[in-house]
Amino acid sequence: MTGTTTSTVEVSVGPLAADDVVAVTRDDAQIRITDESVRAMTESRDVIESMVDDDQPHYGVSTGFGALATKHVPVDMRAQLQRSLIRSHAASSGAEVDREIIRGLMLLRLSTLATGRTGVRPSTAQAYAGILNAGITPVVREYGSLGCSGDLAPLSHCALALMGEGEVRNRAGELMNAGDALAAAGLSPVELREKEGLALINGTDGMLGMLLMASSDLHRLLKIADISAAMTVEGLLGTDAVFAEDLNQLRPHPGQGASAANIRSVLGESPLIGTRQSGEDGKRSFTRVQDAYSVRCAPQVHGAARATLAHAESVAGYELDSAVDNPVVTLDGRIESNGNFHGAPVGYVLDFLAIAVADLASMSERRTDRFLDPARNHGLNAFLADDPGVDSGHMIAQYTQAGIVSELKRLAAPASADSIPSSAMQEDHVSMGWSAGLKLRRAIDGLSRVLAVELLTSARALDMRDGGVEQAKTAPATTAVRKLIRTVVPAPGTDRYLAPEIEAVRKLVESGDALTTAEEAIGSELS
Predicted confidence (pLDDT) per residue in 238-274, tens digit: 999 999 999 999 999 999 999 999 999 999 999 888 6
Q: Is the pTM of this model over 0.85?
A: yes
Considering the domain architecture, whether residues 105 and 226 belong to the same structural domain is answered as: no
% of the chain at pLDDT higher than 70: 94
Q: Given the residues 59, 128, 293, 399, select the one marked as catalytic.
A: 59
Question: 425: closest CA among 66, 149, 107, 135?
Answer: 66
Considering the domain architecture, whether residues 167 and 193 belong to the same structural domain is answered as: yes
Considering the domain architecture, whether residues 282 and 139 belong to the same structural domain is answered as: no
Query: Which residue, 203, 238, 254, sits at the end of a domain?
Result: 203
Considering the domain architecture, whether residues 195 and 252 belong to the same structural domain is answered as: no
Considering the domain architecture, whether residues 418 and 366 belong to the same structural domain is answered as: yes
Identify residue 254 by its one-letter amino acid code. P
Considering the domain architecture, whether residues 18 and 165 belong to the same structural domain is answered as: yes
Query: Which residue, 203, 229, 244, sits at the end of a domain?
Result: 203
The verdict on residue 186 lying in a domain is yes
- Residues 355-370, mean pLDDT to the nearest whole number: 98
pLDDT of residue 3: 46
Based on the structure, what is the number of domains in the chain? 2
* Distance separating alpha carbons of residues 158 and 129, to the nearest angstrom: 11
pLDDT score of 371 more than 60: yes
* Distance separating alpha carbons of residues 297 and 291, to the nearest angstrom: 9
59 belongs to the catalytic site: yes
Considering the domain architecture, whether residues 116 and 183 belong to the same structural domain is answered as: yes
pLDDT score of 2 more than 50: no
pLDDT tens profile 402-415: 999 999 999 999 99
pLDDT of residue 380: 96
Considering the domain architecture, whether residues 477 and 371 belong to the same structural domain is answered as: yes
pLDDT of residue 150: 81
Considering the domain architecture, whether residues 99 and 76 belong to the same structural domain is answered as: yes
- Residues 214-230, mean pLDDT to the nearest whole number: 98
Considering the domain architecture, whether residues 158 and 250 belong to the same structural domain is answered as: no
H helices within 289-373, ranges in order? Answer: 293-296, 298-320, 344-372
pLDDT score of 64 more than 70: no
* Distance separating alpha carbons of residues 141 and 163, to the nearest angstrom: 18
Weakest mean pLDDT among 102-106, 143-147, 261-265, 442-446: 143-147
pLDDT tens profile 272-300: 886 555 554 445 555 567 899 999 999 99
Residue 140's domain is classified under what CATH number?
1.10.275.10
pLDDT of residue 280: 44
pLDDT band of residue 50 (cuts 50, 70, 90) is confident
pLDDT of residue 1: 34
Weakest mean pLDDT among 20-24, 156-160, 415-419, 491-495: 415-419
pLDDT band of residue 4 (cuts 50, 70, 90) is very low
pLDDT tens profile 88-122: 999 999 999 999 999 999 999 999 999 999 999 99
The verdict on residue 341 lying in a domain is no
Considering the domain architecture, whether residues 220 and 268 belong to the same structural domain is answered as: yes
Considering the domain architecture, whether residues 85 and 231 belong to the same structural domain is answered as: no
pLDDT tens profile 374-385: 999 999 999 999
- Orientation angle between helical segments 254-267 and 476-486, nearest 10 degrees: 80
Task: Give the mean pLDDT of the chain.
Answer: 92
pLDDT score of 5 more than 60: no
pLDDT score of 6 more than 80: no
Q: Please state the separation of Cα 269 from the chain's center in Å.
A: 34
- Residues 166-180, mean pLDDT to the nearest whole number: 98
The verdict on residue 339 lying in a domain is no
More confident residue, 213 or 327: 213
> Which residues lie below 8 Å from residue 339, measured CB to CB, with a gap of 6+?
326
**387 phi, psi to nearest 5 deg:** -135, 85
- Orientation angle between helical segments 433-466 and 205-235, nearest 10 degrees: 20
**Which residue range forms the structural domain that includes residue 151?**
8-203
The verdict on residue 333 lying in a domain is no
The verdict on residue 483 lying in a domain is yes
Contact (Cβ atoms closer than 8 angstroms) between residue 440 and residue 214: yes
Tell the burial category of 336 from Cβ atoms under 10 Å away from its Cβ (0-12, 13-18, 19+). exposed
pLDDT score of 54 more than 90: no
Query: Which residue, 184, 203, 222, sits at the end of a domain?
Result: 203
Residue 412's domain is classified under what CATH number?
1.20.200.10
SS3 content of the chain, % helix, strand, coil (to 5): 55, 5, 35
More confident residue, 275 or 472: 472
- Residues 72-89, mean pLDDT to the nearest whole number: 83
The verdict on residue 332 lying in a domain is no
The verdict on residue 230 lying in a domain is yes
* Distance separating alpha carbons of residues 161 and 155, to the nearest angstrom: 10
The verdict on residue 123 lying in a domain is yes
